[in-house]
Amino acid sequence: MTDQNLFTAFTLGSLTLANRIVLAPLTRNRAGTGLVPSQFAATYYSQRASAGLLITEATQISAQAQGYQDTPGLYTQAQIDGWRLVTDAVHAKGGKIFAQLWHVGRVSHVDLQPGGAAPVAPSAIRAQTKTFVNNGFADVSEPRALELDELPGIVNDFRQAAANAIAAGFDGVEIHGANGYLLDQFIKDNANQRTDAYGGSIENRARLLLEVTAAVVAEIGADRTGIRLSPVSPANGVSSSEPQAQFDYIVDQLNALDIVYLHVVEGATGGPRDVAPFDFDALRQRFKNTYIANNGYDQDLATSSLAQDKADLIAFGRPFIGNPDLVERLKAGAPLSAFDPATLYGGGAAGYIDYPTLAESSATAH
């Protein structure tokens, strides 16, 4: 059964999306020298431009914000120029693309930090997780707590990266407030033990995220600003003792800023959807603009969620890796290709831009 709701156009702020299908951010660790997106990246994203909206892999806002080997940045002119090749290629295919902006915080390694410095965090609590560095996975390094007077600089780095994204031709940006990275570390009370204005209460722990969002909105406009949240995902060792109250508050504040979309990881990132009690429907109803649902969606779940008005757009991640023409395959009810796990992180063209479309597969078969 094909429900055309997934394939109908949608208005996102001032943009008209061709369909309700979103390419979720997928880290692939293929940036070149200077952490500039490679020529391959322009091909990769343009191959997937039939999605209503593309959201790039997480892209660091500064050298300090990096947590994984060979992830791209948006803080130098060379990086802006590299991303311009990507946005031009996507727009040439009629696509729309947002840049996801991140600071990883404590999910980093001294070998990736300027001068071999310790990663930064709300509190000096080491994350129970690994990162991809020196061509393999290693435990993250012990972080140091950010000083109060450093926080305005981080807000400004997000603001500048948003301006850089628009200079690079992006249609907007997504602030990465999810998956246990810096902004989520401030939100979640097991990672944030601060006793100043950025720790303790629900309001204080949301402060940095909201200051970043306000700065980005002031720089590029609310209709070009989205945000990604993961209320109950244990990704990278974070947890909240009262997620519903925490995220109800955050969404009320985001409503006041009038951002264009809320992109929500429902459940554990890349894992079970029922990892902890949380009312995502209530969050969706609370948010007045576009709600993008993410995590474990297949066509049936996506179709039923749209039919029940549980979401406006549906983000697909891993299915897009092996299926550059995922939209066309879903529309045709065609089988999906598997991806090669060995080529997910790092490398070149193989396992990145060489997955055939359905048409190409048929031509080869005949």
Q: Does residue 36 contact residue 80 with C-beta atoms inside 8 Å?
A: no
In angstroms, rounded to a whole number, what is the distance separating the alpha carbons of residues 324 and 352?
Answer: 10
Which 8-state DSSP code applies to residue 111? G
Annotation marks residue 75 as catalytic: no
Strands 10-12 and 15-17: antiparallel
Judge residue 188's burial from the number of C-beta atoms within 10 Å of its C-beta, 0-12 exposed, 13-18 middle, 19 or more buried: buried
Give which of 111, 293, 122, 302 is closest to 198, Cα–Cα.
Answer: 122
CA distance 75 to 337: 36
Cα distance between residue 206 and residue 100, in whole Å? 19
The number of CA neighbours under 13 Å toward the Cβ of 101 is 31
CA distance 106 to 109: 8
Eight-class DSSP state of 118: P
> CA 61, 63, 65, 71 torsion: positive or negative?
positive
* Phi and psi at residue 264, to the nearest 5°: -115, 125
Kindly name the residue from 181, 261, 297, 352 that is annotated as catalytic. Answer: 181
Over the Cα atoms of the chain, what is R_g? 19
Q: How many CB atoms lie within 10 A of CB 202?
A: 16
Picking from 83, 81, 23, the residue whose alpha carbon sits closest to that of residue 52 is 23
Residues that are catalytic: 181
